[in-house]
Amino acid sequence: MTCGIPGKSKDAALCPVEAGSEMRLQFQNYDDPSRDDWVIDKSHKGPILVYLAPLESAGKGDVWFKIFEHGYSDGKWGTDLIRGDKEGKLTITIPADIKPGDYLLRNYAKDKNNGAQYFINCAHITVSGSGTSVPKASYSRYLQDR
């Protein structure tokens, strides 16, 4: 489950991203936007999290570090934010001080009752800039290889 359902994840091209810039991520259950539940079912209530790991790690082991989390705030869960615009989009900022290099970017919604959702995916990004920070892994039991 490092980057989605085993056997379902696809190799991806590296996407160039400048450190400190914004990225827009999209969460969806289906490829059909005409479905009422194509983003994420409203029964899923929980935080949204985004992690990075060095690409060469293939996401294995204690390599992930968190760059975004929205839990429960102002009466809304993170999952409510991505359903709000009916498009499942979330804007995040890549840390400005991060060391340039190739990373896996993993975003997922967590159901407060059932843990991490299995439909997570990874993007392959190349971060450019002049940063020198190599963040310490903030390993979570929800990111363990299954």
Which residue segments constitute the domains of the chain, with CATH numbers given?
A: 15-139 (2.70.50.70)
CA distances from 31 to 6, 40, 65, 90 (A): 19, 12, 29, 17
Q: How many of the other CB atoms lie within 10 Å of CB of 111? A: 17
Nearest 5°: CA angle at 44, between 39 and 50? 70
* Per-residue pLDDT band at 127 (split at 50, 70, 90): very high
CA–CA gap between residue 120 and residue 4 (Å, rounded):
5
Q: List the alpha helices (DSSP H) in 34-109.
A: 78-84
**Does the pTM exceed 0.75?**
yes
pLDDT tens digits for range 52-96: 999 998 888 888 899 999 889 999 888 888 887 667 888 999 999
**Residue 99 pLDDT > 90:** yes
Checking DSSP bridges between strand 48-54 and strand 115-116, what pairing results, if any?
Answer: unpaired
Q: How buried is residue 6: exposed, middle or buried, by Cβ count under 10 Å (0-12/13-18/19+)?
A: exposed
3-state secondary structure of 67: strand
Cβ 39 vs Cβ 29: under 8 Å: yes
